[in-house]
Chain A
Amino acid sequence: MANYGTIFVLFLIAAMIALILWTLASVLGPKAPNPRKERPFECGNPPLGPVVRRVSVKFYIVALLFIVFDIETVFLYPWAVIFSELGWLGFWTMVTFVAILGLGLVYVWKKGALDWA
């Protein structure tokens, strides 16, 4: 666990750097608020209509794909470490696993989920 202790200390230092810079800026920077300055930037115009904060469904599809494939890679990592000990059985197991996922990717691709236009 000792290694994680050092990482935790590094986290603290990184957070501290960000905080120090931020505090310095808020102390040293001028403050001249102005209603126009606080308006969201839309190329110099008053904003037209609300910012639609709902996200297009395409992004959700990408997120779903990401989760599927990321979990796959998580499974691959322990396999990769003890790979040489597993022998041919381990190799063919993983070939099957990857092939099934590859099929899934082909299916998603043919379904048009990867068309981003």
Chain B
Amino acid sequence: MAVAETPPAAPVTPAAQATPIAPVTQVAASTGPLVPSGPPRDGPIPPIRAARTPRTDCKPTKAFVPEPHLDLSTYEADADLMTLSLGPQHPSTHGVFRVVLYLDGEQIVKAVPYPGYLHRGVEKLCEKLMASNITPIIDKNDYVAPMTNEQAVNMAFESLMGVEVPVRARYLRTVLAETQRVASHLLWLGTFGMDLGGALGGGTSLFMWCFRERELILDLFENLTGCRFHYNTHTVGGNRHDVPAGWPEMLHRTLGAIDERLDQYLGMLEHPIFSARTKGVGVIDADLALELGLTGPLLRASGVDHDLRRDAPYHAYAEVDLKVFVEDAGDCWARSKVRIEEMRESIRISRILVDNLPPGPICSTKPLKMVGQHKLPPGQVYVGIETPRGELGTWLIGGGANKGSSPYRLKIRSPSLHACAVIPYVLPGCSLSDAIAILGSLDPVMGEVDR
């Protein structure tokens, strides 16, 4: 499998290397701003079609060119091949995502993913926004784990500007990141249950239970930041919101309650139907995982012991002995196991760190009075952190618009995009039911894939 064979749906970003990249690195100091590529668009803007006229001439706009993995013209099928579009309006694609499946009976012979339905041009938008505007926008990328998104982009700013983060803020960020990981994995477990057990069955029960526990964490975050979901609590140089009175006790209560229930979920892994549906399904071997730049639980479930929190510690991860869970099987069951075990470890770390929150300031920069406060110097930086989905990289070039307050370029290396790159490799040979289980176990967040 050469890199050139990577499907067009998942271009390999510069940062998609398997070897860990040191998290806060001055990659190269550029001399002055780079020249934007491509001429500015001019000429008349095409008229917008009247919204109320329904189109009746809808035809496939694209001829589906076979992927290099399989030449459909030479494939000998048992039955007539059927082309099925799974998504965007499908209950199990976890957002608006489309996979075109070529089916031989119920068996998939080829799968072509088509992301892009949720493309909002966030990276381009960031070139016009100032540093403090960017955080709430970036929140919406990985809308299942907004905390870690904020942290990634703010760490890139801090690294480029050379701003030091106070120890208390670093500890608090670790607690928030780990709690967010629990919430994110809980949501994954719930939706995975829906994939395996249907919207009108046991899967919903699992979904509801996971949401019940995730709500507790959202309560916790609301208590701290005032928001339940898009927090905007991180800023350049630290956090905005200090820990309110009684918050550590609340965290202990919440996480303790969740910790007790995790035993049930670990027990569920041994349930005959669950293991029958997940064991040996969607095996990603370590070579393929490294080739496609998988990170996070997906990589660890394939037997690669890699975790940025331990291998290149940021925040306060150097102060705790983090246990990294690795499974060798690389199937859906291993991915489930890794995620559920991670939840327990995250709970343990959060509870340790919140007890040892050092005193001191929460932010090293002055409270924000106006948006243009932070000037981004020229130069570029790449910061990778371990979000619940894997390595979230932020590549930032400073010295852009607004007198240097905006980035010249902000590129996000999202783990979910690389997870989607696995689809054409793993889905062929599975049945339609397995495909849903595999898609669920990859845990992609489309907001992050399409950005």
Answer whether A and B touch in the complex at a CB cut-off of 8 Å: yes
Residues of A within 8 A of B84 (CB): 42, 48
Q: Does B87 contact A (CB under 8 A)?
A: yes
Q: Given known contacts A45-B98, A117-B107, what 4 new A-B pairs fall within 8 Å (CB)?
A: A46-B59, A47-B85, A49-B83, A57-B78
Q: Does A89 contact B (CB under 8 A)?
A: no
Residues of A within 8 A of B85 (CB): 42-43, 45, 47-48
Which residue of chain A is the closest to B101 with respect to CB atoms?
A: A48
Which residue of chain B is the closest to A51 with respect to CB atoms?
A: B82
Q: Which of B59, B80, B89, B107 contacts A52 (CB 8 A)?
A: B80
Count of B interface residues, CB-CB < 8 Å? 27
- Report which residue of A35, A44, A58 has the largest number of chain B beta carbons within 10 angstroms of its beta carbon: A44
Q: Which of B56, B78, B90 contacts A56 (CB 8 A)?
A: B78
Residues of A within 8 A of B60 (CB): 46, 48
Q: Which of B82, B87, B104, B105 contacts A49 (CB 8 A)?
A: B82
Residues of A within 8 A of B80 (CB): 52, 54
Q: Which of B56, B78, B98 contacts A43 (CB 8 A)?
A: B98
Q: How far is the CA of A56 from the CA of B82 in the complex (A)?
A: 11
Q: Which of A35, A48, A49, A51 contacts B56 (CB 8 A)?
A: A35
Whether A43 contacts B82 by the Cβ 8 Å rule is: no
Q: Does B222 contact A (CB under 8 A)?
A: no
Q: Does A36 contact B (CB under 8 A)?
A: yes
Whether A44 contacts B88 by the Cβ 8 Å rule is: yes
Q: Does A34 contact B (CB under 8 A)?
A: yes
Which residue of chain A is the closest to B91 with respect to CB atoms?
A: A43
Q: Does B106 contact A (CB under 8 A)?
A: yes
Which residue of chain A is the closest to B100 with respect to CB atoms?
A: A48
Q: How far is the CA of A61 from the CA of B64 in the complex (A)?
A: 33
Residues of A within 8 A of B87 (CB): 43-44
For chain A, residues 28 to 50, give those with C-beta under 8 angstroms from any C-beta of chain B.
34-36, 39, 42-49
Q: How far is the CA of A46 from the CA of B85 in the complex (A)?
A: 9
Whether B88 contacts A48 by the Cβ 8 Å rule is: no
Decide if the interface of chain B is mainly helix, strand, loop or mixed.
Answer: loop
Residues of B within 8 A of A52 (CB): 79-82
Q: How far is the CA of A36 from the CA of B51 in the complex (A)?
A: 14
Whether A34 contacts B106 by the Cβ 8 Å rule is: no
Residues of A within 8 A of B54 (CB): 34-36
Q: How far does the Cβ of B219 sit from chain A's closest Cβ, in whole Å?
A: 35
Q: How far is the CA of A26 from the CA of B408 in the complex (A)?
A: 61
For chain A, residues 46 to 88, give those with C-beta under 8 angstroms from any C-beta of chain B.
46-49, 51-52, 54-58
Residues of A within 8 A of B106 (CB): 56
Residues of A within 8 A of B58 (CB): 36, 39, 46
Q: How far does the Cβ of A86 sit from chain B's closest Cβ, in whole Å?
A: 41
- Contact flags B257-274 to A (C-beta < 8 A → 1, else 0): 000000000000000000
Which residue of chain B is the closest to A53 with respect to CB atoms?
A: B80
Q: How far is the CA of A73 from the CA of B168 in the complex (A)?
A: 75
